[in-house]
Amino acid sequence: MRNGTRRVVVTGMGALTPLGNSPAAMWEAMMRGTSGAAPITYFDASEFATRFACELKGYNALDYFNRREARRLDRFAQYALVAVEQALADAGLDSGNMTQLDRDRVGVIVGSGIGGIQVFNTQANVMRDSGPRRISPFFIPMLIPDIVSGHISIKHKFRGPNYCVVSACATGSNNIGDVLMLIQRGTIDVGVCGGSEAAISEMGIGGFNALKALSTRNDSPEAASRPFDRTRDGFVLGEGAGIMVIEEMEHARARNARIHAEIIGIGMSGDANHVTAPHPEGEGAALAMSNLLLDANLRPEEVDYLNMHGTATPLGDIAETKAVKHVFKEHARRMHLSSTKSMTGHLLGAAGAVEAIATVMAVKNNRVPPTINFRHADPECDLNYTFNTPQDRIINVALSNAFGFGGHNTSLAFRKYPG
């Protein structure tokens, strides 16, 4: 027991990302400072203000699903289900190793910030061209963000709490945090959690362009995501999924599971400021991080690394920097920080989960992933963002931030697990 709650550890991780289709492949690409951005191939983007994104590479649905299954799953659901299988295998809980598992005490909380925007595009066109009688009976089940948790539960007969949190770009982190709290309070022993997104589509790119949220650096996509750089002009849309298996520590030890790290706390807050813009002084972000330190029983000086939300928007990077300074005071200049979105792009509802995996990898490897594409200093972003090159450092405690439209703020904390 710790602070009156059960201790929780990460035993499995799975990921499909623009840098690689596993956590190991993603991490290796991060250590090379690789950008996942390139011209869009999914549709003709020639008339769009932004004509590039961070698409998955080498993904073929038929490598994982038969044709019937693939037709009945939007891409966001496909990505999540593939990442789940990776995470369960990594945790030693693939199908042949679940016989001793109490499936009534396994929860599933996996969601998406947007859900099935691909199938929405397709079925809206069907409605326009052929009328309502031609709409697919699978349209609604393919569309709703919570359907992934349903598919996972049904496939593996996990009968614990089954739902999803939708909090825009904080979705993945909130889903991990909910499982953490359910395990701490004793409701479940094991949880499958995270987020998935597949919004690189006409409506996805067009909608974010209408918000003026995306970079329009079409002449150099690979350099477009440049968090904390003075010339940043918006984020680069990405896609993929991040999934964690987390469980009560004694439960994991009893089955001799490999433990990647301990997850020690969550902090949440609301900006109460604006639908899309962060609080200009970072007040909501600061409150989330302060709440996290309190929940995890951490002193600011114990934190070695912070994976920042860092979207490369003009306002967001400054607000988050102010929040870090407010919470960590002088220690803010002794920590390492970075934005892995400079490489993956912004995965929206999957971002928090993918970045939580990157944060755990940093703890395991004692290596800080870089913020690439830095060229021009911004006087309002003056901390150690680990520009352009990864840095070796002993990392005992690391945090991961995720903030979403609507003012949703979530921070997670991970600690190195002995041995």
Q: Which residue, 193, 194, 235, is CA-closest to 212?
A: 235
Torsion sign over Cα 244, 337, 200, 29: negative
346 is catalytic: yes
Q: Which residue, 6, 26, 22, is CA-closest to 14?
A: 22
The residue type found at 310 is G
CA atoms within 13 A on the CB side of 256: 1
Tell the residue number behind the tokens 């996290």, with chain if given: 292
169 is catalytic: yes
The answer to whether residues 180 and 109 touch, using CB atoms and an 8 Å cutoff, is no
Q: Give the tokens for residue 151.
A: 């598919």
Q: For residue 148, which phi and psi values (nearest 5 degrees)?
A: -65, -45
Residue of 169, 251, 336, 408 with catalytic role: 169
Residue of 251, 279, 309, 336 with catalytic role: 309
Residue of 279, 336, 346, 408 with catalytic role: 346
151 is catalytic: no
Determine the 3-state secondary structure of 331 from DSSP.
helix
Alpha helices in 45-158 (DSSP H): 67-71, 75-90, 117-130, 139-143, 147-156
Q: For residue 63, which phi and psi values (nearest 5 degrees)?
A: -75, -15
> What is the C-alpha separation between 294 and 296, in angstroms, rounded?
6
Alpha helices in 267-346 (DSSP H): 283-296, 314-328, 341-344
Radius of gyration of the chain (CA): 20
The residues annotated with a catalytic role in the active site are 169, 309, 346
